[in-house]
C-alpha cells in the first residue's frame, strides 16, 4: 500500500513538472508601438523606461520579451487599438481624464514632468516676433499648431490660445507654409525634429509650463501588466536606477542646459485635463523634476 502511494505521488510530480517548467520559462510578450508619423521624434527613452520597469519586476513576474510594432497612425487611433487589444499592449502618452478612464493607468510620470515645459519651433526668420513678448495676452495673439488628438490642443485652447490642428506628420510643413507660427514642443523634442529643416529653428525667448505627466496606459483587461509596470517603476525609483536613466539618457541629459531656460520668459498655464488621482501625486517630490534652476 505504501509503495502504491509513493508510486502515484512520483508519477503525479513527474507529469506536472514539465508544465510548470514551461510556464515559468515562457516569457511575457509585451507589444509596443513605434510612431512613424513625426519624423526624427525621440522615442528611445520611453522604450528604455519600459525595459527598466520590466527588468526590475522580473524576479517577481518572470521573464519578458518586447515586440515592436511600427505604426503609421496618429495617437488617437493607436489608443483605440490598445482599447480593442489589437497590435499593442502598452502605450506611453500624455494623460487626460478621458484616457485614465478608458485604460489601466500606471500613475508614475515616466518623464518626471519634463513634457510640461514647452519651447517652440518657429520659422528661421521670425524670432523678432517673439523677442519682445512679455505678457500672456501678447503671446495669445500668436497662432499655435498642435497634433490631432493631442491633449495639448485642448489645454492650449482652454487657456485662450488660437490652435490649428494637423496630422503629426504634417505639422512642420504646415509651420513652414505659415498655417501657424509657433509649434510648442517638450524641452527634449525640438532639436532632433528640425535637424533636417534648415528653415526652422528653436524659438529662444518663450517657455510655457503646465502639469503634463506622461504615463504608461494598458488595456483594462490586462491588470497584470499594469501592476507589473507600476511595481517595476517603483523599484527603479527606490534604488535610484530610474533617476540614473533619466539624467544620463541621450534624449534627456542635456536638454535643460540646451534650452537656456534662464533667458526665457515663463508663462504658466492651467491644465484642465488632470484627474483627481493625478492631482494627488503632484506633491510627491520623488516622481517629478526638481527645480529647473531658472
The mean pLDDT values, 10 residues at a time, for the chain of 294 residues are: 43 39 70 73 86 97 95 85 96 96 98 95 96 95 94 96 93 96 94 89 97 97 97 98 95 88 94 96 91 50
Half-sphere exposure of 212 (CA within 13 A, CB side): 23
| DSSP H stretches of helix in 198-251 | 223-239, 241-248
List, in order, residues 6 or more apart from 13 with CB less than 8 Å away. Answer: none
Helix axes 44-56, 223-239, angle to 10 degrees: 90
List, in order, residues 6 or more apart from 208 with CB less than 8 Å away. Answer: 117, 118, 119, 184, 267, 269
All structural domains of the chain, each given as residue ranges with its CATH number in brackets, are: 8-114+213-264 (3.40.190.10), 115-209 (3.40.190.10)
Report the alpha-carbon distance of residue 174 to residue 178 in Å, rounded. 6
Report the alpha-carbon distance of residue 27 to residue 8 in Å, rounded. 32
Segment (H or E) for 266? strand 265-268
Under a CB-based contact definition with an 8 Å cutoff, are residues 138 and 112 in contact? no
**Predicted local distance difference test score (pLDDT) of residue 124:** 96
Report the alpha-carbon distance of residue 293 to residue 48 in Å, rounded. 27
And the C-alpha cell for 141? 495673439
Report the alpha-carbon distance of residue 112 to residue 251 in Å, rounded. 13
- Using the 8-state DSSP alphabet, how is residue 260 labeled? T
Q: Find the Cα–Cα–Cα–Cα dihedral 189, 193, 195, 201, rounded to 10°.
A: -70
- Hey, what long-range contacts does 56-59 have (CB within 8 A, 24 or more apart)? 56/231, 56/232, 56/233, 56/235, 56/236, 56/239, 56/241, 57/228, 57/229, 57/231, 57/232, 57/235
257 - beta bridge partners?
Answer: none
- Hey, what long-range contacts does 191-195 have (CB within 8 A, 24 or more apart)? 191/258, 192/40, 192/41, 192/42, 193/38, 193/39, 193/40, 193/41, 193/121, 194/40, 194/121, 195/40
For residue 92, give the 3-state DSSP assignment: strand
Amino acid at each position: 500500500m505504501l509503495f502504491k502511494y509513493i508510486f502515484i505521488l512520483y508519477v503525479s510530480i513527474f507529469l506536472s513538472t514539465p508544465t510548470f517548467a514551461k510556464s515559468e520559462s515562457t516569457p511575457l510578450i509585451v507589444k509596443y508601438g513605434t510612431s512613424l508619423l513625426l519624423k526624427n521624434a525621440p522615442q528611445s527613452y520611453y522604450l528604455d523606461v519600459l525595459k527598466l520597469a520590466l527588468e526590475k519586476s522580473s524576479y517577481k513576474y518572470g521573464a519578458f520579451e518586447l515586440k515592436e510594432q511600427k505604426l503609421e497612425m496618429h495617437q488617437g487611433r493607436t489608443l483605440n487599438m490598445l482599447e480593442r487589444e489589437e497590435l499593442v499592449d502598452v502605450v506611453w502618452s500624455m494623460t487626460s481624464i478621458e484616457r485614465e478612464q478608458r485604460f489601466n493607468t500606471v500613475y508614475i510620470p515616466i518623464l518626471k514632468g519634463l513634457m510640461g515645459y514647452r519651447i517652440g519651433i518657429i520659422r528661421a526668420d521670425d524670432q523678432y516676433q517673439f523677442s519682445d513678448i512679455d505678457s500672456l495676452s501678447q503671446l495669445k495673439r500668436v497662432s499655435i499648431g498642435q497634433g490631432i488628438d493631442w491633449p495639448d490642443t485642448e489645454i492650449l485652447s482652454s487657456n485662450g490660445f488660437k490652435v490649428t490642428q494637423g496630422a503629426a506628420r504634417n505639422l512642420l510643413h504646415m509651420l513652414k507654409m505659415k498655417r501657424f507660427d509657433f509649434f510648442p514642443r517638450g524641452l527634449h523634442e525640438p532639436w532632433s525634429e528640425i535637424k533636417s529643416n534648415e528653415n526652422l529653428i528653436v524659438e529662444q525667448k518663450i517657455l510655457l509650463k503646465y502639469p503634463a505627466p506622461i504615463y504608461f496606459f494598458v488595456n483594462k483587461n490586462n491588470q497584470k501588466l499594469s501592476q507589473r509596470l507600476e511595481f517595476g517603476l517603483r523599484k527603479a525609483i527606490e534604488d535610484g536606477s530610474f533617476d540614473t536613466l533619466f539624467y544620463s539618457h541621450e534624449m534627456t541629459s542635456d536638454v535643460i542646459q540646451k534650452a537656456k531656460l534662464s533667458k526665457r520668459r515663463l508663462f504658466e498655464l492651467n491644465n484642465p485635463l488632470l484627474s483627481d488621482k493625478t492631482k494627488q501625486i503632484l506633491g510627491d517630490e520623488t516622481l517629478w523634476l526638481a527645480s529647473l534652476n531658472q
